[in-house]
Structure 1
Amino acid sequence: MKDKIIHKATDLFITLGFKSVTMDDIANEMGISKKTIYTHFSNKTALVKEVTLSLFETISCGIDTIRAQEKNPIEELYEIKKYMMLQLKNEKSSPQYQLQKYYPEIYDTLKGKHFEKMHACTLINLQRGISQGLYRKTLAIEFVARMYFIGVNGIKDGALFPLEKFPKAALFEEYLEYHLRGIVTKEGLQTLNKFIKNTVHNA
């Protein structure tokens, strides 16, 4: 039952936001009593913490699966971006903003884990791209990796990028292209243009 509660709560939190969803909402959606939820979670904060950590582990495993396929580094980033869009499917809420505002300690813990995971993955992606001649050899990879993390998190700011002007999928697409155009070689640009063309064709 605990796993079922986490699964349903994750879906509701991501779709509607961490503040917007109440324990009553989760109980009603599952057709159970609120008391049942409280037998597994002492309060909503405890549930939010479990949900965010569970979601992080799920996404991390998914990214590791993509990386294990050892596709070329540019294709790898596009596959990860596509996977992230499927996992974080919201277009109408700002779960990250609500998490940061109402559960700051959980947000800070999650952000730290996110940085560690993304930083390590990005460094390896950059090193592979350089070795394959797709990224420039002169890149300061530690700097680029940290700037990429800042950018990915920055474009989630609803005040800077309101959803009505910047649909999430298109925004991430634009940022990924922006990132890659700054680091690719001529050979890498050919590969990048292929993915951009396919994205436009499939839109």
Structure 2
Amino acid sequence: MKEKILNRATDLFLNLGFKSVTMDDIAQEMGISKKTIYSHFPNKTKLIEQCTAQVQCDISEGIDEIVSHQKNPIEELYEIKRFVMMHLKNEKKSPGYQLQKYYPEIYKTLNAKQFEVMHRCIVDNIERGLAMGIYRDNLNIQFVSRIYFSGVSTIKDDSLFPTSLFSKVEVFDYYLEYHLRGIVTPKGRQILNTIINSNQE
């Protein structure tokens, strides 16, 4: 039952927001009593902690699986983007913003873990891209990996990138192309253009 509550609560939080969803909502959605939920999670904050930790773990494992295939680094970034977007269900109500505003300690912990995972992934991606000659050899790897993380974090901000102007998928696509065009060699640009053109067909 604990796992069922965790999975359903996570789905609701990602679709409707961490502040918006109440324990009553979860109980009603599952057809169980709040007492049942509280028997597994002492309060909403603990439930959110475990939900976000589970999402982070699932995403981290999924990224590690993608990286383990040692694909072309440009293809790899698009594969990771697709996986993350599918996993987060497009974050319809910007749950990350609500998490930051109403549960700042959880957000801080989650953000640190996200940076650790993404930084490791991007550094590895850049190093392989350099070795293959598809990324420019004058890149500062530490700078590029950090600016990439900063950008991914910023494009989730609805006040800067409102859904009335961009869908979540669009804004991630635009950002990934923006990032890659800044670091690829002519050889890498050919690969990037092929991927973009195939995605538009």
Regarding TM over 0.5, the answer is yes
Shift of 1:166: 1.3
Q: Which residue of 2 aligns with 1:139?
A: 139
Partners in 2 of 1:9 and 1:92 — Cα distance?
15
Q: Which residue of 1 aligns with 2:51?
A: 51
Number of residue pairs aligned between Structure 1 and Structure 2:
201
Q: Which residue of 2 aligns with 1:82?
A: 82
Shift of 1:92: 3.2
Unaligned runs of 5+ residues in structure 1 are: none
Q: Classify the secondary structure of the residue corresponding to 2:169.
A: helix
State, as a whole percentage, how many aligned pairs show the same letter.
61
Shift of 1:91: 5.3
Note if contact 2:14-2:95 (Cα within 8 Å) is conserved in structure 1: yes
Q: Which residue of 2 aligns with 1:94?
A: 94
Q: Say which is worse superposed, 84-93 or 63-72, in terms of deviation.
A: 84-93
1:118 aligns with 2:118: yes
Q: What value does the CA root-mean-square deviation take over the aligned residues?
A: 0.7
Q: Which residue of 2 aligns with 1:19?
A: 19
Unaligned runs of 5+ residues in structure 2 are: none
Q: 2:133 is aligned with what amino acid?
A: G
Q: Which residue of 1 aligns with 2:71?
A: 71
Partners in 2 of 1:92 and 1:155 — Cα distance?
14
Note if contact 1:91-1:167 (Cα within 8 Å) is conserved in structure 2: no
TM-score for both structures, normalised by structure 1:
0.97
Runs of 4+ in 1 over 2 A off after TM superposition: none
Note if contact 1:115-1:149 (Cα within 8 Å) is conserved in structure 2: yes
Note if contact 1:91-1:163 (Cα within 8 Å) is conserved in structure 2: no
Note if contact 1:85-1:169 (Cα within 8 Å) is conserved in structure 2: yes
Partners in 1 of 2:48 and 2:92 — Cα distance?
19
Q: Which residue of 1 aligns with 2:37?
A: 37
Q: Which residue of 2 aligns with 1:199?
A: 199
**Cα offsets for 1:4-36 (capped at 9, x unmatched):** 110000100001000111101111111111000
Note if contact 1:100-1:107 (Cα within 8 Å) is conserved in structure 2: yes
Partners in 2 of 1:94 and 1:136 — Cα distance?
35
1:168 aligns with 2:174: no
Partners in 2 of 1:91 and 1:29 — Cα distance?
19
Shift of 1:200: 1.1
Q: Which residue of 2 aligns with 1:182?
A: 182
Shift of 1:93: 0.5
